[in-house]
């Protein structure tokens, strides 16, 4: 058994009941259940439709996300989340680079790395090298003035944790940022790279070992083993190439506003919704949300 979920951006709430009904009828689905009026609806299916991706494309043109997931085990017990451009709206290293006057160069490297065009470790070393000599105090300035949370993040964490889930922030970014973001959003733990500092200035080097794509997979394996759970119990969310390992291994891997090359390898793609979409795809109604 499968469940089809249709989602609109919460800022638009433009999910047309006629679309839900026509799709349900075309696919022979069960009765439509509205998880949130004009925003999210679902219905059950006995088989995966052969024309799913064609219909998905049509829904995308209407500003609607369409997801089909197995009905059994939808509510996950572990959340593994990327940070940059996922739980926050920025790439931290790009913001630091702007302060260092090398913003354009670093943004180009970041974009290519997140698209999978560059080796993550090498790209990280190169970008951090360009920050050499930047005062450590700039990190606090960037956190205070440039970093904003992705909409829906606090609600996602609060709701899943209220139902007993464990949440881990696993980032290819830096502990100076993940520590603050983890506290603000309510993560149980955070993992990231360390910017090395000497005499109050960034050295241009990153602590070893570098946490890249494999580190996120390692986190998935270690946390599930520690909690005596399986990979099927995990919902993972990210947007970059270094997230693909955990996204493809998790029971539910969500590409959130992801790079095209990344989304192409994920079955659950959220392009219009915010982080609360991860609750809807797990079967939570808006009435269940913890704000």
Q: Can you give the CATH number for the domain in which 37 is found?
A: 3.30.70
Q: Which of 219, 204, 285 is nearest to 250 (CA)?
A: 219
Q: Is 89 found in the same domain as 27?
A: no
- For the chain, the three-class secondary structure string (H helix, E strand, C coil) is CEEEEEEECCCCCCCCHHHHHHHHHHHCCCCCEEEECCCEEEEEECCCCCCHHHHHHHHHHCCEEEEEEECCCCCCCEEEECCCCCCECCCHHHHHHHHHCCHHHHHHHHHHHHCCCCCHHHHHHHHHHCCCCCECHHHHHHHHHCCCECCCHHHHHHHHHHCCCEEEEEEEEEHHHHHHHHHHHCCCEEEEECEEEECCEEEEEECCCCCCHHHHHHHHHHHHHHCCCCHHHEEEEECCHHHHHHHHHCCEEEEECCCHHHHCCCCEEECCCCCCHHHHCCCCCHHHCCC
Same domain, 99 and 183: yes
Provide the CATH number for the domain around residue 206. Answer: 3.40.50.1000
Nearest to residue 205, comparing CAs of 121, 148, 267?
A: 121
Q: Are residues 144 and 245 both part of a single domain?
A: yes
Tokens encoding 195: 């910017």
Domain that holds residue 245: 75-291
Last residue of a domain, one of 72, 98, 117: 72
Q: Are residues 102 and 62 in the same domain?
A: no
Residue 110 and residue 247 share a domain: yes
pLDDT tens string, the chain, 291 residues long: the values are 999 999 999 999 999 999 999 999 999 999 999 999 999 999 999 999 999 999 999 999 999 999 999 999 999 999 999 999 999 999 999 999 999 999 999 999 999 988 889 889 999 999 999 999 999 999 999 999 999 999 999 999 999 999 999 999 999 999 999 999 999 999 999 999 999 999 999 999 999 999 989 999 999 999 999 999 999 999 999 999 999 999 999 999 999 999 898 999 999 999 999 999 999 999 999 999 999
pTM of structure: 0.96
> Among the three residues 72, 90, 116, which one is the final residue of a domain in this structure?
72
Q: Do 22 and 79 fall into the same domain?
A: no
Q: 194 and 62 in one domain?
A: no
Active site (catalytic) residues: 82, 84
Please check whether residues 112 and 246 belong to one and the same domain: yes
28 and 160 both lie in a single domain: no
């Amino acid at each position: 058994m499968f469940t089809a979920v249709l989602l609109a951006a919460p800022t638009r709430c433009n999910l047309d009941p006629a679309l839900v009904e026509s799709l349900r009828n075309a696919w022979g689905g069960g009765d439509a259940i509205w998880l949130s009026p004009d925003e999210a609806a679902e219905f059950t299916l006995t088989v995966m439709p052969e024309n799913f991706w064609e219909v998905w494309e049509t829904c995308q043109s209407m500003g609607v996300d369409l997801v089909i997931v197995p009905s059994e085990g939808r509510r996950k017990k572990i959340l593994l989340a990327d940070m940059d451009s996922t739980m926050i709206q920025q790439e931290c290293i790009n913001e630091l680079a702007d302060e260092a006057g090398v913003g354009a160069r670093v943004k180009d490297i970041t974009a290519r790395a997140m698209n999978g065009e560059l080796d993550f470790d090498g790209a990280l070393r190169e970008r951090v090298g360009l920050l050499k000599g930047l005062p450590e105090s700039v990190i606090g300035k960037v956190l205070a003035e440039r970093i904003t949370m992705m909409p829906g993040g606090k609600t996602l964490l609060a709701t899943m944790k209220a139902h007993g889930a464990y949440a881990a922030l696993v980032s290819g970014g830096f502990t100076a940022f993940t520590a603050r973001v983890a506290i603000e959003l309510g993560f149980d733990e955070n993992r990231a790279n360390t910017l090395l500092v000497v005499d109050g200035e960034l050295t241009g080097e990153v602590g070893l070992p570098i946490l890249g794509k494999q580190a996120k997979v390692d986190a998935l394996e270690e946390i599930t083993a520690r909690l005596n759970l399986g990979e099927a119990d995990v919902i993972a969310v990210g947007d970059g190439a270094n997230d693909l390992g955990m996204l493809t291994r998790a029971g539910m891997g969500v590409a959130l506003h992801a790079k095209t090359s990344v989304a192409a390898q994920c079955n659950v793609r959220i392009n219009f919704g915010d982080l609360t979409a991860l609750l809807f795809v797990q079967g939570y109604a808006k009435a269940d949300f913890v704000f």
